[in-house]
Copies of this chain bind each other. A is one copy, B any other.
Amino acid sequence: MQTSIPNWLMQRAFLTPERIAVQDERGQKTFAELHEAVVTRARQLASLGVRKGDIVALLMKNSIAMIETIHALHYIGATVLLQNTRLTSHELLWQLEDSGAKFWFFDDEFEKCANEISTIQMMKTSELSMLPEQECEFQHEYHFDDVATIMYTSGTTGTPKGVLQTYGNHWWSAIGSVLNLGLYENDCWLAAVPFFHISGLSIIMRSVIYGMSMYVMNRFDAGKANDIIMNGNITVMSVVSSMLQQMIAELGDRTYPNTFRCMLLGGGPAPQPLLEACRDKGIPVYQTYGMTETASQIVTLAPEYSITKLGSAGKPLFPAQIRIENEGQIVRPYEPGEIVVKGPNVTKGYLDRPEATKRAIRDGWFYTGDIGYVDDEGFLYVLDRRSDLIISGGENVYPAEIEAVLLSHEAVEEAGVTGISDEKWGQVPCAFIKLKEGYSVNVSQVKAFCQERLAKYKVPKHIYFVDELPRNAAKKLLRRQLLQLIPKSEET
């Protein structure tokens, strides 16, 4: 029997109406007030024709209005497609077409993208509030198998796929987290990571499930984040390494109030000096491993292990399991293999991609494509993200996607992309190109070509022209050997 429980925000507005639900630098709303705002927004969306089952795309920056719009779409029973605001018009349009989205709402600043997209009903979010209200039927219960949200990831193939996140996935992710981190009466979660990523969206879900306050930052700023924490009301914050690094640098000699109890660090392993600096400042860092397909963290390292188990992502959350496989066999501790995960927080698959879904999920286990091992106590160590995933400032960058763009240039015969260490961003993409005979093109021309087609963080920071790319006998590109070409080639 499918699990159904009351609509989360409605239940909060009933059970804990006077608690603060959301706040930002301009103000705050209780759960009752948030519910009121969401009802209004839902009726406005209904008047536009948004109906239960529709896929509705949002291109918005973090704001209380974005939270309201997501909840409003869930009140109606629509599925929310969350788009990365750094994508190009080309990339956005691709997602809209692939998903069959019926509506597209964007913050005013993205209007110029809108001019290039005309195939879908769209509206500026600032105009939504001017719409008339129309009565509509609300979802008073959420069904755990229903799809709440969709986020696109590229994975190994380079073709973005829409990850289906059900209400059940979000619920179980929140519950797995609470059983690990606990829940205190005064908890307030600082949300400076984007809501279009699962790290940010999951804070919105926890807020209504826990009845917990969240503080919304429109964009991350290390100084402001530190000031907000120093004010004493924040107890938990989600970050990636590059954010934490900036915050530690900005913090100077100050230390956080001791009510601050969790710095949840995702987006790849953290450098030891950063962890040591946090330890010295008494900042409790919880390193995590997770992905869009697991509806946020699935493995977390408690702070007491952050130095002794340096480099480990920790152990699974309570409802989840992990194992390491090599050629279909579970391997022994310390032997590397593919990280395979299971749990009710794991996606049921990809939108309209039955084959990709079947490849990724077998017997209830999700094959992450990431490489790692567990030690003899069961702590997970992630060696390499799925097929050469580059993590740059917390954003996932897929080499195959950049290679596909490079290969679409008339002068390019072959292209290979890999990550290279970068002090500020952790990693940045680096491209190796073999030109077609008789063609000539320079680095800035290639970068300009990419900038039109790729989000800025995906544009290769370094480009090298080479005579040959490393390939195995089957001619498969060996991305991990690309960096060895650097000394031989002419840097740019």
Contacts and interface: CB of A to CB of B under 8 A. Distances in A.
Contact of A210 (B15, B179, B184, B185): B179
A175 B65 CA distance: 30
A236 to B, nearest CB: 13
Interface stretch (A3-11, A118-126, A467-475): A3-11
Interface in A306-347: 315-316, 318-321, 343-344
Contacts of A179: 178, 183, 209-211
A15 B321 CA distance: 11
A342 to B, nearest CB: 9
A378 interface: yes
A386 B6 CA distance: 26
B3 A318 contact: no
Contacts of A321: 6
B183 A3 contact: no
- Residue of A1, A15, A210, A344 with most partner-chain B CB within 10 A: A15
A319 to B, nearest CB: 4
Interface residues of A, number: 27
B319 A6 contact: yes
A14 interface: yes
A348 to B, nearest CB: 8
A182 interface: yes
A177 to B, nearest CB: 11
Contact of A182 (B14, B185, B318, B320): B185
Interface string A1-27: 101011000010011000000000000
Interface string A190-222: 000000000000000000011100000000000
Contacts of A3: 3, 344
Given A15-B316, A315-B14, A318-B11, A344 B182 contact: no
B5 A344 contact: yes
Nearest to A185: B182
Interface in A88-117: none
Contact of A178 (B5, B6, B178, B185): B178
Given A15-B316, A182-B183, A184-B184, 14 more contacts: A1-B145, A3-B3, A5-B319, A5-B343, A6-B319, A14-B315, A14-B378, A15-B315, A15-B318, A175-B175, A178-B183, A179-B211, A183-B183, A209-B318
Interface of A: 1, 3, 5-6, 11, 14-15, 145, 175, 178-179, 182-185, 209-211, 315-316, 318-321, 343-344, 378
Sorted from nearest, which 10 A-B pairs have the closest CB atoms?
A182-B183, A5-B319, A183-B183, A15-B315, A3-B344, A6-B321, A182-B185, A182-B184, A175-B175, A14-B378
